[in-house]
Amino acid sequence: MKMLSRKALCKSHAGQDSSYFLGWQEYEKNPHDPVTNPSGIIQMGLAENQLCFDLLESWIATNQEPTGFMTRGGSIFKELALFQDYHGLPAFKKELVGYMAEIRQNKVKFDPNKLVLTAGATSANESLMFCLAEPGEAFLIPTPYYPGFDRDLKWRTGVEIVPILCSSSNKFKITPSSLEDAYQHAQKLHLKVKGMFITNPSNPLGTTLSLDELNHLITFAIHKSIHIVSDEIYSGTVFNSPSFISIFEALKKLKNLENTDIWSRVHIVSSLSKDLGLPGFRIGMIYSNNDMLIAAATKMSSFGLVSSQSQFLLSKILGDKKFRKNYMKENQKRLKNRQKLLVLGLNKCGIQCLKSNAGLFCWVDMRHLLDNNTFDAEMELWKKIIYKFGLNVSPGSSCHCAEPGWFRICFSNMTKETLDLSVQRIKALVGSRATNIDC
Amino acid sequence: MRLIVPLQGVVQGRGGLILGSLIPCALFYFLQFYLKRHRSPPRNPPSPSSSAANLSELPRSSSRANLTTRGSIGLVHVSARAKAVAAPNDSPYYIGLDRVREDPYDEMSNPDGVIQLGLAENRLSLDLIEDWLSKNLTGSILGVGGNGLGLSGIATYQPMDGLMEFKVAMADFMTEVMGRTVSFDPSRVVLTSGATPALEILSFCLADQGNAFLVPAPYYPGFDRDMRWRTGVDLIPVHCRSCDNFTLSITALEQSFNQARKRGQKVRGILISNPSNPVGNLLNRDMLYDLLDFARERNIHIISDEIFAGSKYGNEEFVSMAEIVDSEEADKDRVHIIYGMSKDFSVPGFRVGVIYSFNENVLAASRKLTRFSSVSTPTQQLLVSVLSDKRFTQEYIKMNKQRMRSTYDLFVAGLKELGIECTKSSAGLYCWVDMSRLISPYNEKGELDLWDKLLNIAKINVTPGSACHCIEPGWFRFCFTTLNEKEIPIVMERIRKVVESCKPPM
């Protein structure tokens, strides 16, 4: 075997051994299908929004021109085919910043020149790590967090993650002491902290950060002279109050910090994968007021440019302001209803969820279903859920949750009927425990 | 280590082992001490918000070049990698591209603009694809309406390394475009958003930080970015010369390998481009076998960038590395091929690249790594449709070659009239032009002076050999596939003006 690099051979970084990914593998072996495989495993571990495809499909059906590379001026196929400028298609960036502002109730304005397009938020997050930290330096991340970060932020960059431990005792909110503890922990590990990486709205919690929490983060970042990366990929999935507060809004609101030093150390990541439900299109972005970062990230985007075809199509979809507004409203409504379905269904089984107002999933409290308060017990329960009751859910340990017994369950990547079925299966699971049948 | 080895050699002559080990240790200690003292101290945190406004802030509009030199100012918070990447482009290759972007030639709206001959882009045959699309493209290509799966068929998360149908389509296309001498297997195809990330991914897979690849020079300037920027891998040029028509010599390869070893630098592989960029040569069968032997003897990899395989306008045959290993039983897993749709199929904007490897471990790692550079699904669907029309693809390949041939002939003839010769090339979207008689002095500075004149007086963007690490001054890469026939005389006229002023002194 010809020798490969250490990075290629290293398996554990990727977290590929994590139950998060193992669950997917099991699902793939035996996927549920209402007609052909009704007893198969239902995928509840994939945070994908399939609720509004009909709206997009009908737009595409009534707007044939963009899909045919046609504009009023004729075909622009040639221009698009040749367009590989890493500054991105201007028409697309213009609509994108308008859309991003609208999601934030226009409380923040974005400049297209400070926006870098990347092939998905996955690429954006990795690029940011390359740009903000040297190999061996660290970012603090509140737990629980998206399992993919272990791979995306660390693998090729050599950056380390140090968790900011959050607890159910205060609904997993970020506190000044948890920040300080994480920082001290990093010091003990001789890791230089370069910044904090937050996901707002949170994955897997499904909650938006409060102004207080944002204040803590900003104060901490100023005090320690570090960066804040705010992954706001779920900002378009907020379906209930409290309303979403972007980190830039908090900066302005709290301390009127525009154009101060911290202003150039706060960066946003987003994408069209969650709100518009278009993960296959691979459209992500980095936004920052830091000129050097933007210059570096723009050039680095050469390694993950967005297809000009997709940029063009999305510029037309997002440019249809009426459609956009209606889509956002409808999307919110459907997500809210879907979440309610799952929450009520779980409640009826005696299972509570963390009160959430965003995201494509619920953070579910199954602590009372554990044999004991350990991660081993959580694994046992997870195995039971997937193998005996056919549901791929994500155990809290895969999200680095500090306490066992929490699970992330997605609700927007399936039909209503399938969701109902999954609730029935959970009911059966709870029932099996009540009657003490060892399944 | 370099310090210690010669030192011991010196010391062993007089004083023996004790001095031989003490002195290096002492030197090492002093080196550490020196480094500790000069390591920059952690930046002081700015005082709380009230005085933050007092920190002198460089106005954002002032030149970024200042930021890179004045490292102590509070603004500079990004990583060393970012600083290096953000620095203004100093390579003529990139400066030229920027100039065209600022002032692009347009027959109607900007006839005095800069004509692009510095980007290997094929504009000769796009009309064929556009034509096909206008006849065949319907909403159903996006899976919407009719018998499509609906948007959920393409909008949702798909395998990061590409849709199976697209892998099949690409494998078939590669087979067709490379002359059907070897059959490409879809299960060895990993899709990436362009050849740029394909190369970077291979670099990450095959080498650790500090390792090196040997690359025949002159080479494509983008390799420095793709293989080195974020990977920490080094490129060692193996110089080819005009007397050999810039073909690679195994002897030169050997020398470079040995020199690297003496320096303590581990060579992990050879990176070749075939057809070569910027020269346009095809590596013949013998050379490919020799390369494989060379790699086998030293247990290193071969990356063969074959992105121009279908852009062949000469009569020489193109031989893919895939064909060579096809006939070899062993050693397949040191060979990796790069391909893409940016050159042969003229769609660089759609971002489609391929890693094709015979090594299962490389494939496994690449499939995971390509999540950072995956191909947009609607683009995959679109190309699946186009490429499934085999009659069209064959017609396209044929017509494209014809058009390249005639443009090449016209272009080379035009240069000849000006007394300028090119190497005899058979492929690629460019010619390798000898302007060494026109530069003065005969060195890199003279070459860059001429490049500057061509860019700013003649207003044509070409790539100087020094940007391609060519060891002989005066060579330039001129891309001709960005031109239509009408534009060739315009280009020649502009070159003439500069050439007249550069006639060598008698």
Q: B51: helix, coil or strand? A: helix
What is the average pLDDT value for chain B, to the nearest integer? 85
Query: Which residue bears the tokens 């690249």?
Result: B353
Q: What percent of chain B has pLDDT over 70?
A: 81
**Identified catalytic residue from B115, B303, B307, B337:** B307
Tokens found for residue B480:
């001709």
* Inter-chain CB pairs, A–B, below 8 Å: 278
How many residues comprise chain A?
A: 439
Mutate which: A261, A298, A410, vs B, most B CBs within 10 A: A261
Q: B68: helix, coil or strand? A: helix
**In terms of CA atoms, which chain A residue is nearest residue B227?**
A303
Which 263-292 residues of chain B touch chain A by CB within 8 A?
Answer: 268
pLDDT of residue B23: 58
H or E element that contains B345: none
Query: Is B459 annotated as catalytic?
Result: no
Distances (CA, A) of B63 to A292, B74, B456, B500: 11, 16, 22, 37
- Inspect the interface and report whether the beta carbons of A296 and B350 lie closer than 8 Å: no
Helix, strand, coil share (%) of chain B residues, nearest 5: 50, 10, 40
Which 9-38 residues of chain B touch chain A by CB within 8 A?
Answer: none
Mean pLDDT of B259-279: 97
Determine contact: A292 vs chain B, CB below 8 A.
yes
Distances (CA, A) of B235 to A245, B209, B219, B226, B473: 47, 12, 11, 11, 20
Residues of A in Cβ contact (< 8 Å) with B211: 5
pLDDT of residue B57: 30
- Inspect the interface and report whether the beta carbons of B130 and A3 lie closer than 8 Å: no
What's the CA gap between B397 and B399, in Å, rounded? 6
Distances (CA, A) of A103 to A100, A239, A246, A331: 5, 11, 10, 12
Determine contact: B149 vs chain A, CB below 8 A.
no
What SS3 string covers chain A? CCCCCHHHHCCCCCCCCCHHHHHHHHHHHCECECCCECCCEEECCCCCCCCCHHHHHHHHHHCHHHHCCEECCEECHHHHHHCCCCCCCHHHHHHHHHHHHHHCCCCCCCCHHHEEEECHHHHHHHHHHHHHCCCCCEEEEECCCCCCHHHHCCCCCCCEEEEECCCHHHCCCCCHHHHHHHHHHHHHCCCCEEEEEEECCCCCCCCCCCHHHHHHHHHHHHHHCCEEEEECCCHHHCCCCCCCCCHHHHHHHHHCCCCCHHHHHEEEEEECCCCCCCHHHCCEEEEECCHHHHHHHHHHHHHHCCCHHHHHHHHHHHHCHHHHHHHHHHHHHHHHHHHHHHHHHHHHCCCEECCCCCCCEEEEECHHHCCCCCHHHHHHHHHHHHHHCCEECEEHHHHCCCCCCEEEEECCCCCHHHHHHHHHHHHHHHHHHHCCCCC
Q: What backbone torsions phi and psi does residue A140 show, to the nearest 5 degrees? A: -95, 135
pLDDT of residue A14: 52
Which 320-379 residues of chain A touch chain B by CB within 8 A?
Answer: none
Q: What is the CA radius of gyration of chain B?
A: 26
Q: Report whether pLDDT(B227) > 50.
A: yes
A6 vs B151, B208, B359: nearest CB? B208
What's the CA gap between A130 and A327, in Å, rounded? 35
What's the CA gap between A220 and B53, in Å, rounded? 18
Q: Report whether pLDDT(B236) > 80.
A: yes
**Identified catalytic residue from A231, A247, A262, A426:** A231
Residues of B in Cβ contact (< 8 Å) with A257: 49, 52
What's the CA gap between B383 and B154, in Å, rounded? 13
Which 91-150 residues of chain A touch chain B by CB within 8 A?
Answer: 119-120, 122-123, 126, 130-134
pLDDT of residue A380: 95
Mean pLDDT of B217-244: 95
Query: Is B115 annotated as catalytic?
Result: no
| pLDDT band at residue B222 under the 50/70/90 scheme | very high
Q: What backbone torsions phi and psi does residue B317 show, to the nearest 5 degrees? A: -85, 145
Query: Is B343 annotated as catalytic?
Result: yes
Question: Using one digit for the tens of pLDDT, what is the confidence trace for B27-79?
Answer: 555 555 555 554 443 333 333 333 333 323 323 333 333 333 333 334 457 99
**Identified catalytic residue from B161, B226, B234, B305:** B305
| pLDDT band at residue B317 under the 50/70/90 scheme | very high
Q: At what angle do helices A308-319 and A321-348 cross, to 10 degrees?
A: 90
Determine contact: B229 vs chain A, CB below 8 A.
yes
Contact status, residue A197 vs residue A149, Cβ threshold 8 Å: yes
Amino acid at A182: A
Mean pLDDT of B420-429: 94
Q: What percent of chain B has pLDDT over 90?
A: 71
pLDDT per residue of chain A (439 residues) written in tens, 0 to 9 = 458 888 888 765 555 557 777 888 899 999 999 999 999 999 999 999 999 999 999 999 899 888 889 888 889 999 999 999 999 999 999 999 999 999 999 999 999 999 999 999 999 999 999 999 999 999 999 999 999 999 999 999 999 999 999 999 999 999 999 999 999 999 999 999 999 999 999 999 999 999 999 999 999 999 999 999 999 999 999 999 999 999 999 998 876 777 688 999 999 999 999 999 998 999 999 999 999 999 999 999 999 999 999 999 999 999 999 999 999 999 999 999 999 999 999 999 999 999 999 999 999 999 999 999 999 999 999 999 999 999 999 999 999 999 999 999 999 999 999 999 999 999 999 998 776 544 3
- Inspect the interface and report whether the beta carbons of A81 and B78 lie closer than 8 Å: no
Task: Return all residues near B2 (Cβ < 8 A) that are at least 6 apart.
Answer: B263, B264
